[in-house]
Structure 1
Amino acid sequence: MASYIFMKILESAPQRYDMGINLISFGQDRRMQQEIVEEYVHKSNQVLEIGCGTGTLAISCAKKGASVVAFDISRQMLAIAERKVREHNLIEKIQLKEMGAIEMEKAFNENTFDRIVSTLVFSELYDYEQKYVLNQAYRVLRPNGLIIIADEVKPRSLWKRIVHSSIRIPLALITYLLTQTSTKALGDIKGPITNAGFKIIHEKRSFIDSFTLFVGQKE
């Protein structure tokens, strides 16, 4: 749950980003990434990653045999991703792009990708940005392609929301004091996914219902 709250802090020290995200997400981010690769990414897939950070998920997808286009708005994160891609000898399998999600319309053609993956990104977007990105994801996915989103969400039960808030609010204050930015857990992301045209084929919640994996299929 805290992965989103400390996102901006960790971006100021990208060399510690992967370790920090794993620690403050209580290992959920790493486990979700592993599940994404094992269950949904196949050899010969064309994969697009939205918000690739330091390239960990992109590299795992490429090792599975997929060809990956991964983009991020942070030049510092991409510099680390580029180094990791070279270290794993995956230059021919991974294309990295410095861009934001709102540039997808100009960057990618229709029906280009088999999979679109995104972890810890949608919680940083405003509602209208989420709508735009999901519509673009639908456009650039091939028929029967999948969008896989792992993100922090608001727990459904009252007691879980109380526990979630008791941990999250102090961390949000620290984040704002250090970075002058704030983050939020996702409210209803399932609705926007289906409104964009996707059929939800899998949903999995973990850690007091605050971390969720959604899989939507383009019909």
Structure 2
Amino acid sequence: MLRVTNDARFWDRIARKYAADPVADTAGYERTLERTRQHLKGSDTVFEFGCGTGTTALKLAGTVERIVATDISGEMIAIAREKAEAEGCSNVEFKIATPDVAPWSDGTFDVALGFNVLHLMAAREAALKGVYRLLKSGGLFISKTPCLKEMNPFVRVAIPVMQLFGKAPYVSVLDGNELEREIAAAGFEIIERERHATRGKDARPFLVARK
């Protein structure tokens, strides 16, 4: 809990700057959105965790009936609500929550989304089990996760230094195979694997898993 609290404070502190930063790989992001939309139905109720300032939830809102988008950062959620109000989007609800302590009943959601967040969760095993619990039987978990073991080694050296000075939150160093094993261990069957980056080496596996 202390880890989550400290990370929430970090994200609260940088939320406004984060909201202003552009997407690094716009084409790759749009491809991820499009592939995700292909797995969504108009009747779906969707759960997203690590939603940040709500950009993805708002972009997908027109595809589904309802989205509950969550984050540990109250400031991120505040910005997301501001954006939803500005866009007139009424079928997205933004909440402070994590999958492992989410207040919703078992089998509430048709689809769960976790983009660019699993590597930032120290309690990843509990989070994945929480996602599994929240999904209906046959429901889908769609994720895209930076795998730092597949990235420039300098990044792995720099992160502890940045953390020492309060410039980075918790970050886990994974590769794609480890990530898949953890998702499978939570009870999921991985049914789709893709890579969507349009420049450089793609170290962010896009995975679709079924409960």
How high is the TM-score relative to the length of structure 2?
0.81
- Paired residues of 1:28 and 1:211 also in contact (CA < 8 A): no
CA pair 181-103 structure 1, distance change in 2 beyond 3 A: same
Are 2:194 and 1:193 equivalent residues in the alignment?
Answer: no
Match of 1:134?
128
Aligned length: 199
Alpha-carbon deviation of 1:38?
2.6
Q: Structure 1 counterpart of 2:144, which letter?
A: A
Corresponding residue of 1:148:
142
Q: Which amino acid aligns with 2:100?
A: I
Distance 1:21 1:149, change over 3 A: farther
Equivalent residue number for residue 16 of structure 2: 15
Matched, 1:165 2:153: yes
- Report the counterpart of residue 165 of structure 2 in structure 1: 177
Percent identity over the alignment is 24
Q: Is the 8 A contact 2:99 2:128 kept in 1?
A: no
CA displacement, residues 23-42 of structure 1 (integer Å, 9 cap, x when unaligned): 3xx44773464235332222
AA matched with 1:179: K
Can you give the 5+ residue segments of structure 1 that lack an aligned partner in the other structure? 1-6, 156-160
Alignment partners' CA distance in 2, 1:58 and 1:100: 16
Q: Distance in 1 between matches of 2:159 and 2:27?
A: 18
- SS of the equivalent of 2:105 reads coil
Q: Pairwise CA RMSD of aligned residues? A: 2.7
Compared CA separation, residues 74 and 28, structure 1 to 2 (3 A): farther
Shift of 1:85: 0.8
1:84-121: CA deviation from partner (whole Å, max 9, x where unpaired): 11112122x011111233312xx011111110001121
TM, length-normalised to structure 1: 0.78
C-alpha displacement of 1:186? 2.5
Give the deviation of 1:150 after TM superposition: 0.8
- In 1, Cα distance between equivalents of 2:170 and 2:121: 11
Number of the residue aligned with 1:125: 121
Contact 1:29 1:119 in 2 (8 A): no
Query: Which region of structure 1 is more displaced relative to structure 2, 62-71 or 33-42?
Result: 33-42
